[in-house]
Amino acid sequence: MASEHSDTTDGDTGALALKILVAGGFGVGKTTLVGAVSEIKPLRTEELLSEAGQSVDDTGGVDQKVTTTVAMDFGRITIRSGLSLYLFGTPGQDRFWFLWDELAQGALGAVVLADTRRLQDCFPAVDFFEHRHIPFVVAVNCFSGSGAYGTDDVSRALDLDQGTPVVLCDARDRASGKEVLISLVEYAGRMHTARLLDSVS
Amino acid sequence: MTEDSTSAPHEPPGSQWYDHEAGPLVRPYAMTGGRTAPGPSGVRFDLIALVSLHIGAPDADGDASLGPEHRTLIELCRTETQSVAELAAGADLPVGVVRVLLGDLLELGHVTVSRPVPPAQLPDERILREVIAGLRAL
């Protein structure tokens, strides 16, 4: 019935929404970055973990506990009427990786926020996106006193695939956040084109 | 036994003796009649699936099968098209619950849901260029 004509997203009336993930270790500034570029106050939504969480959460002896909630921050940027970008801050805890899987489906790309004082915190995110061939950029959040490392140093330390952009940013700054997103969309476009060419040859 | 009659006094609406920390008083999936997946069609709405009111939708006011949470979602869509994530935040409900309720609304013909872009088909270059230009202009 009503669902029939919901399949078209590119029609004249069809609105298009694109999804960008913001990942990285706990406290690296994911929510800050989302808030800096979002036109709406970052909204918080909760996902209930039930079946999926059971294998991870030890609920032994806590019979009443049936669900766990995990919060996700998100923001929105309207490019024009009918074309919006949605930004999702991924949950900081590694054990919610299965939630990322769903978040990542159909994502345009991801920003992996890194702090050079604890670079290892972003390893899981880098692995995740590399394995799924999701375009991502590494944005080094320049905390004061975090020491000046060049983008090449970070790229080498993270053993990134050649071409994966590394940019320096200030997650609190709107202009800086915009630049990060622009470099991601440009990179996603390049990856997309490269794959098209691969499939032809 | 008799505790029930005393523990539920007739409080005026809005006076809440519990706070946010206490969590919801109603088990979230009670609002869906215990269902954790949307109706027979089994669609799983993406977080950025866009929900609009269906033009020519049946009158929601007269539909006894709709609960208050259904109506909340309809009201949120009335102002503008909303993503599933925005609806969840706006209605203060977990995403899983919103998905089930949206499945009901879709089946009853109250809303239309546009699918998210499938992973294999990224938007074409024209769209990406538009996004980049849009970001620069912010």
Which residues make beta-bridge pairs with A84?
Answer: A17, A78
Contacts of A197 in chain B (CB under 8 A): none
Task: Choose, out of B101, B122, B132, the residue to mutate when testing the contact with A (most A CBs < 10 Å).
Answer: B122
Is A57 in a helix, a strand, or coil? Answer: coil
Residue A140 in domain:
yes
Are A83 and B131 within 8 A, CB to CB?
yes
With contact defined as beta carbons under 8 Å apart, do A136 and A110 qualify?
A: yes
Q: Which two tokens stand for residue A6?
A: 């919901």
In this complex, the residue of B36, B122, B134 whose CB is nearest that of residue A108 is B122
Distance from the Cα of B128 to chain A's closest Cα (Å) equals 7
CB contact (8 A) between residue B96 and residue A50: yes
B contact residues 13-32, partner A, Cβ 8 Å cutoff: 27-29
Task: Please determine, for residue B48, whether its predicted confidence score (pLDDT) is greater than 70.
Answer: yes
Measure the CA–CA gap between B80 and B51, rounded to whole angstroms: 9
| Alpha carbons A181 and B75: distance in angstroms, whole number | 33
The total number of structural domains that make up chain A:
1
- The reply to whether A78 falls in a domain is yes
pTM: 0.79
Among B54, B122, B131, beta carbon nearest to A79: B131
The answer to whether A42 touches A75, Cβ cutoff 8 Å, is: yes
Cα separation, A115 vs B16, whole angstroms: 42
Q: For residue B69, which of B100, B46, B42 has the smallest C-alpha distance?
A: B100
Contact map slice: A 52-111 vs B, CB within 8 A: 66-67, 69, 72, 74, 76-77, 79-80, 83-86, 88, 102-103, 105-108
Range of the domain at B75: 3-137
A101: in domain: yes
Question: Residue A11 falls within a domain, yes or no?
Answer: no
Core vs surface per residue A131-161: b (16+ CB within 10 A) or e: eeebbbbbbbbbeeeeeebeeeebbeebebe
**Quick one: tokens of B88?**
């969840």
Q: What are phi and psi of A70, to 5 degrees?
A: -130, 135
- Among candidates A100, A97, A89, which has minimal Cα distance to A27? A89
| A33 found inside a domain | yes
| CATH number of the domain encompassing residue B88 | 1.10.10.10
What ranges in A8-119 are assigned the alpha helix state H? 30-37, 51-54, 97-104
Beta-carbon neighbour count of residue A29 at 10 Å? 24
- CA A22 to chain centroid, in Å, comes to 3
Between CA A111 and CA A135 the distance in angstroms is 9
CB contact A188 to B (< 8 Å): yes
B104 has a chain A CB within 8 A of its CB: no
CA distance A137 to chain B (A): 15
Q: Is the Cβ–Cβ distance between A79 and A149 less than 8 Å? A: no
Q: Domain of A140? A: 16-200
**What would the pLDDT profile of B76-132 be if each residue is shown by its tens digit?**
999 888 999 999 999 999 888 999 999 999 989 999 988 654 555 677 888 999 999
Tell me the CATH number at A171. 3.40.50.300
Total tally of structural domains belonging to chain B: 1
Higher pLDDT, A156 or A6: A156
- How far off is chain A from B95, nearest CA to CA, in Å? 5
Share of chain B above pLDDT 70, in %: 72
Looking at the complex, report in whole angstroms how far the Cα of residue B1 sits from the nearest Cα belonging to chain A.
Answer: 21
**Residue A129: inside a domain:** yes
A151 lies in some domain: yes
Percent of chain B past pLDDT 90, that is, above it, reads 35
Q: What tens digit of pLDDT does each residue of A61-106 get?
A: 444 445 566 778 899 999 998 899 999 998 766 667 777 888 888 8
The residue-averaged pLDDT of A118-129 equals 92
